[in-house]
Amino acid sequence: MGWTTPRQAPDELIFGRRASELVAELPDRLSTRIHDNARRFPDQPALIDGAVRWSYRDLSAQITAATGWLAEQGIRPGDRVMAVSENSRALVVLLLATTEMDASLAIVNPRLSAREVDAIAADCEPRRVFYTSGVSAEAAQHARRHNAEPYTHNSLGELMISALHEAEPDPVYAEGHRQLAALIYTSGTTGRPKGVMLSHRGILYIASISGGMRHLTEGQRVYGVLPMSHVFGLSSVCMGSLYNGACLYTVPRFTPDALLEALEHEAVTVLQGVPAMYAKTLEHLRTAQRPLNTDSLVYISAGGSPLDLETKQRVEAVFKLTLHNGYGLTEASPTISQTRIDEQPADTTVGKVLPLLEYRLQPMADSARQEDAAQETTPGELWVRGPNVMLGYYRQPEATAACLTSEGWLNTGDIARVNEQGQLYIVSRSKELIIRSGFNIYPPDIEAVLNRHPAVIMSAVVGRQVAGNEEVIAYVQCDPGAMVTEQTLHEFVHDKLAPYKRPGKIHIMEQLPATATGKILKGRLRDLANNEGDA
């Protein structure tokens, strides 16, 4: 069974220094280290946004200037500011200047629907909303809906800015572990949106420890395509780069062409993405018959959604590098574990838990418990505690209490196991567990088999309720023009899966529904499956 006694991940050396030392020196505000970097190595490249190239001296000066400008815009300590924005220098400066003023920033992806953007605004009640219209047509559309005024900023580019709203400020705390820095809203299609409150210290712990483990240091050039409206892009990529003195390339949206151009002409050294991004890049390389230049790359990693072994092996064969893996969630700022840079795991472990974090496995309820001789330990529900855990959901104490205890323990909602070497494996989301005829079915097991088919780009498996049982339904995205049918895929998985794991239906889709980061929207697929069952 799982174990409930907490364990603490050991202290580790990160670039010659103990993690405990790095945590002890975390500042209380996000921008502090950027100003320190400007003093230590002022001419080191900090940020590249298209033709605009800033050193750390430049970036520090831009943050300082923006705090004055935001004050002129009526922003006060404790205010919430909302940015409807793609990745850009404007968004980076808004984040660092807003939080330096002891206000907080709610970062919203402009590719959300009008209903979703409006629901977030209604929930967080921002003092002002800034739209980066110069880099996002979708942001401009939302701005026009809200009658925002165009504004040309001499450094940040074309913006649109809402009217000043009356808003009650939040409390302000000097301590970084108490002060709200950012609101990241979790994806969802129904109900009230949940704003995850991330503290300065939580984000900086990830920037320092997770970023340090990736060796994001001076001289590294990081491809920043993961949206900062997602916590992976915010904490790990953006702040991980800038905290540690690397150069961040802000990229508004992912296309395989743009990535390949950057690898060839900008000598990018670090690439962090989601599995779907890598899958689409491999598809593009195949269909365009284009060579891949990886001479500059030293590190690639995946996160944000499960990485199956087939995708990992394909990527490693083409990129000729270890595809590192990690695990986290928005409520943990986000990283909980990651593979170490000097490791070359042959499986899909998400690595060891980050140094100094506490974790435990809670045995699952009897209805979901099943011994599995193939596993080194029986899976349990993963709980974690540490400086990266969220402050709670904004103005939603009941939702907060449902997953975060008064002692600071966060229920991840994920089913995990840990082997004897301390390697963590995510088996499934607890809410995605399928129980069929008394057997536990973990969707990633089936997805991994489907993804082995050479025509399959990615897949997603969900459960559908039927009378007294659950049925396995699979959705698959294949290479364009691939001659593959549902029957072909049924035959392919037949001998590779136990009978109770075989999908009852396999749907081939032109495109799986996904967030801007490439995370597959399983809730939408579950709705499709259940609606099909009702038809």
Alpha carbon distances (Å) from 362 to 4, 5, 254, 447, 505 = 5, 9, 38, 25, 33
- The answer to whether residue 450 is domain-embedded is yes
Q: Which pTM value belongs to this model? A: 0.85
For residue 207 the two structure tokens come to: 């920037």
Whole-number pLDDT of residue 363:
86
User: What are the DSSP calls for 352-396, one per residue?
Assistant: EEPTT-EEEEEPPPGGG----TTSSS--EEEEEESTTS-SEETT-
State how far the Cα of 233 lies from the Cα of 227, in Å rounded to an integer.
5
List helix spans (H) across 125-218: 137-145, 200-205, 211-213
- The answer to whether residue 459 is domain-embedded is yes
Q: What is the dihedral of CA 248, 250, 251, 253, to 10 degrees?
A: 120
For residue 124 the two structure tokens come to: 């967080």
Answer for the pair 119, 102: CB distance below 8 angstroms, yes or no: no
* Residue of 241, 220, 223, 239 whose CA lies nearest to 231: 239
3-state secondary structure 59-84: HHHHHHHHHHHHHHCCCCCCCEEEEE
Alpha carbon distances (Å) from 417 to 364, 480, 524 = 12, 37, 27
State how far the Cα of 195 lies from the Cα of 124, in Å rounded to an integer.
8
Answer for the pair 418, 361: CB distance below 8 angstroms, yes or no: yes
- Count structural domains, the chain: 1
Whole-number pLDDT of residue 188:
45
* Residue of 162, 183, 89 whose CA lies nearest to 393: 183
Going by C-beta distance under 8 Å and a sequence separation of 6 or more, which residues neighbour residue 76? 101, 103, 127, 169
Whole-number pLDDT of residue 328:
93
- The answer to whether residue 485 is domain-embedded is yes
Whole-number pLDDT of residue 279:
86
- The answer to whether residue 467 is domain-embedded is yes
How many CA atoms within 13 Å lie on the side-chain side of 367? 6
List helix spans (H) across 73-210: 89-100, 114-124, 137-145, 200-205
- The answer to whether residue 265 is domain-embedded is no
For residue 224 the two structure tokens come to: 């920043």
State how far the Cα of 144 lies from the Cα of 141, in Å rounded to an integer.
5
The CATH number of the domain where 473 resides is what? 3.30.300.30
- The answer to whether residue 506 is domain-embedded is yes
For residue 61 the two structure tokens come to: 């000066």
- Rounded mean pLDDT for each run of 10 residues along the chain, 535 residues in total: 79 95 98 98 98 98 98 98 98 98 96 89 97 97 97 98 97 98 76 90 98 94 95 96 98 94 95 89 91 94 85 94 95 97 95 98 61 58 97 96 96 92 87 74 87 93 82 94 92 89 94 81 89 68
The owner of tokens 């108490």 is: 178
User: What is the domain extent for residue 475?
Assistant: 434-534
Whole-number pLDDT of residue 189:
41
State how far the Cα of 492 lies from the Cα of 505, in Å rounded to an integer.
13
- The answer to whether residue 445 is domain-embedded is yes
Instruction: Count other C-beta atoms under 10 Å from residue 405's C-beta.
Output: 12
- The answer to whether residue 482 is domain-embedded is yes
State how far the Cα of 146 lies from the Cα of 142, in Å rounded to an integer.
6
